[in-house]
Amino acid sequence: MRDKLIAVCRKFRVDGDCVDWRAISNGLINDSYWMEFRKDERDKQYVLQRINLHVFKSPDKVMENIERVTDYIKSKCKNSGNSSKRSYMTFYHTKDNKNYYIDDNNDFWRISKYIQNSIIIDDTDDLDIIREIGFAFGQFQEKLSDFPAEMLYETIKDFHTTTKRYQAFKKSIEESNIERLIIAKNEIDYLLSVEEQACKLTIMAENRLLPYRVTHNDTKCNNVLLDEDTRKALCVIDLDTVMPGLVMHDFGDAARYICNNACEDSRDLNKVHIDISKFRAFTEGFLLPIKHTLTELEIEYMAYGVFVMATELATRFLTDYLNGDKYFKINYTDHNLARARCQIALAKDIYSNMNLMNKIVYEYVNQLVMAI
Ligand code: GN1
Ligand code: MG
How far, in Å, is the centroid of ligand 2 from the Cα of 207?
28
For 149-203, the pLDDT digits (tens) are 889 999 999 999 999 999 999 999 999 999 999 999 999 999 999 999 999 999 9
Q: What is the CATH number of domain 2-116?
A: 3.30.200.20
pTM: 0.95
CATH 3.90.1200.10 spans which residues of the chain? 127-371
* Each residue's pLDDT tens digit, 92-137: 999 999 999 999 999 999 999 999 999 999 999 999 999 999 999 9
Cα(131) to centroid(ligand 2), Å? 21
Closest C-alpha to ligand 1, atom 5: 27
Q: Tell me the CA–centroid distance for residue 346 and ligand 2, in Å.
A: 21
Q: Where in the chain is the domain with CATH 3.30.200.20?
A: 2-116
253-304 per-position pLDDT tens digit = 999 999 999 999 999 999 999 999 999 999 999 999 999 999 999 999 999 9
**What angle do helix axes 335-352 and 185-193 make, rounded to 10 degrees?**
40
Say what the pLDDT of residue 165 is: 98
Q: Among the bound ligands, name the one nearest to the CA of residue 217.
A: 1
Tell me what pLDDT residue 228 has. 95
Using 50, 70 and 90 to split pLDDT, how confident is the model at 371? very low
- Residue 129 is predicted with a pLDDT of 97
pLDDT tens per residue across span 300-323: 999 999 999 999 999 999 999 999
Q: Residue 76's pLDDT is what? A: 87
Q: What angle do CA 349, 332, 24 make, to 5 degrees?
A: 90
The CATH architecture assigned to 127-371 reads: Alpha-Beta Complex (3.90)
- Of all protein residues, the one whose alpha carbon is nearest to atom 7 of ligand 1 is 218
Neighbours of ion ligand 2 (CB under 5 A): 218, 238
Residue ranges around ligand 1 (CB below 6 Å): 27-29, 55, 218, 220, 238, 241, 264, 313
82: pLDDT strictly greater than 90? no
**Could you tell me the distance, in angstroms and rounded to a whole number, from the CA of residue 241 to the centre of ligand 1?**
9
Count of CB atoms situated within 10 Å of the CB of 315: 27
Using a pLDDT cut of 70, give the percent of the chain over it: 99
